[in-house]
Structure 1
Amino acid sequence: MKADLEGTPLWVSVDETTDVAGRYFANVLIGKLDKEKSLSPILIACTFLENPDVAAIARLINWSLLDLWPNFDSNLLTVMLSDSADYMLKAGNNLKVFNPKMCHLTCLAHSLHKLAETVRELFPVVNHLISAVKKVVCKTPSRIATWKNNYPHLPLPPSPCGFYSKKL
């Protein structure tokens, strides 16, 4: 694995999650950036974090790379992938100081969500209208019962945000 990655431009991806007890964990994956066929992405760290913040993420990435290669060439880290949480953006900026060729890319879905949250905050009346429509259409037991009576063989329309009661 190290031989396949040695001396080639690399990408690194970091993401933080929680376990069932609410503890924070971060995972670091790396991969090779070149046109040749290379190994699949490799998980190089899965670490418990006391507090997922800028310093913790930046240290985790640096230490993970230095753990594999004690004399890691910082010019080889060319791409960092993460979500668009504020602390990830700041960690990416901090890592650019030590990895001059690194470009920080964020997940498009996370960026769109962040944009939607900003719009929601800027237009509270529209946010209230959308919330009211959701309550009427998605959370009203009588409407769900009507759907089930009229269409007993069809499931409820999909709801990515979990608006429907799981008991039904």
Structure 2
Amino acid sequence: MLNPRVQLSELVREFGDDIFMCNATTLICTACNKTFPNARRFNLSQDSRTSSHKKALERLRRRQAEESRLQAAICSSDLPSFPMELCDAFLAADIPLFELENPILRTFLENTTTKLIPNESRLRNFHVHEIYQRKMQIIRESIGSSSSRISIDETIDFMGRNFAHVLIGSLNKETAGLPYISNCEIVDGTNAHTVLRVFYRRVEDLWRTDVQHERVLLFVADAAPYTVAAARSLKVLFPNMIHIICIAHAIHREAEQARKSFLKVDRLISTL
């Protein structure tokens, strides 16, 4: 009489060792996660013809195919560039990187690209900084040897955090170049010291070790007292710089004064 383990092994080979597996006494269907103690050929034949087994087998085949594609992507030579391109695309489209943790989106991307989708932390730790440096190089090349203008605006988000937004662009006799968002950073507060620190950091990042103090011609910001004080201090370091008030801020302040003067009209408009 054959050993039970030998009999089960023969059944596994007959019905497919990629679907069934066995231990000393039990045969297991990996598609259905069903066990067959003291399995017989008749039992397996009957189960293999059921609709539930066929659907489970289809899911298993699909999962195996996906794993094979992902494994091929891991071994492919172009994989290192894919996370960078993915990160760059998400940032360019203004899509938060944490959206990659969405299981439906992750599965869709893996199925359509046949590549292993990195998680948010990997992209943030290994690729965001490099993409930022690439963008800064584009800004440097755009400004070239031209003079520059810098705009700083501070705002508070819904969580109460203070942000400083910095725009940098070229400035010459013919025209003003396209402005670029150089940075958006969280700051400790809104004061002259913050404006000074943010301004000089961006200038250092633009020209690296050799800051071109004479080429900064224009500083655009609001008319807050601490901003005016910061501009006076920056004038010492950047002798050719002129501080002008942002027209949008000026119009906004005029509108605020109009609201205070016509309270009834303000309430009427706010209800429309």
Aligned mates of 2:165, 2:254 — CA distance in 1: 25
Q: CA deviation at 1:15?
A: 0.3
Q: CA deviation at 1:67?
A: 1.5
Contact 2:171 2:177 in 1 (8 A): no
Task: For residue 22 of structure 1, give the secondary structure of its aligned residue in structure 2.
Answer: coil
Contact 1:16 1:24 in 2 (8 A): yes
Contact 1:4 1:38 in 2 (8 A): no
Contact 1:25 1:46 in 2 (8 A): yes
Once the two structures are superposed, residues 14-35 of structure 1 have per-residue CA deviations (whole angstroms, 9 ceiling, x without a partner) of: 0001111011100111101125
Q: Which of residues 167, 176, 194 is equivalent to 1:29?
A: 167
- CA 23–96 in structure 1, closer or farther in 2 if over 3 Å, else same: same
Q: CA RMSD in A?
A: 2.7
Q: Which residue of 2 aligns with 1:164?
A: 271
Greater mean deviation of Cα atoms: 19-28 or 32-41: 32-41
Q: Give the counterpart letter for 1:91 in structure 2.
A: A
Structure 1: which 5+ runs fail to align?
121-126, 145-158
- Larger helix proportion of the pair: 2
Per the normalisation by structure 2, the TM-score is: 0.43
Q: Which residue of 2 aligns with 1:51?
A: 189
Q: Which residue of 1 aligns with 2:148?
A: 10
- Compare CA radii of gyration and give the structure with the larger one: 2
Task: For residue 189 of structure 2, give the secondary structure of its aligned residue in structure 1.
Answer: coil
The answer to whether structure 1 residue 77 and structure 2 residue 219 are counterparts is: no
Q: Give the counterpart letter for 1:164 in structure 2.
A: T
Larger RCO of the pair (alpha carbons < 8 Å, separation 6+): 1
Q: CA deviation at 1:4?
A: 2.4
The answer to whether structure 1 residue 19 and structure 2 residue 157 are counterparts is: yes
Q: Which residue of 2 aligns with 1:65?
A: 203
Q: CA deviation at 1:57?
A: 0.6
Once the two structures are superposed, residues 3-60 of structure 1 have per-residue CA deviations (whole angstroms, 9 ceiling, x without a partner) of: 2213211000000011110111001111011256775211111110111110111110
Q: CA deviation at 1:68?
A: 2.3
Aligned mates of 2:242, 2:221 — CA distance in 1: 11
Contact 2:147 2:215 in 1 (8 A): yes
- CA 36–115 in structure 1, closer or farther in 2 if over 3 Å, else same: closer
- CA 116–40 in structure 1, closer or farther in 2 if over 3 Å, else same: closer
Map 1:8-157 onto structure 2 (within 5 A): 8-35=146-173, 40-70=178-208, 71-111=210-250, 114=253, 130-131=262-263, 134=264, 139=267
Task: For residue 185 of structure 2, give the secondary structure of its aligned residue in structure 1.
Answer: strand
Aligned mates of 1:57, 1:38 — CA distance in 2: 23
- CA 10–23 in structure 1, closer or farther in 2 if over 3 Å, else same: same
Q: CA deviation at 1:96?
A: 0.7
Greater mean deviation of Cα atoms: 94-103 or 107-116: 107-116
Residue correspondences, number: 132
Quote the sequence identity (%). Answer: 30
Structure 2: which 5+ runs fail to align?
1-137
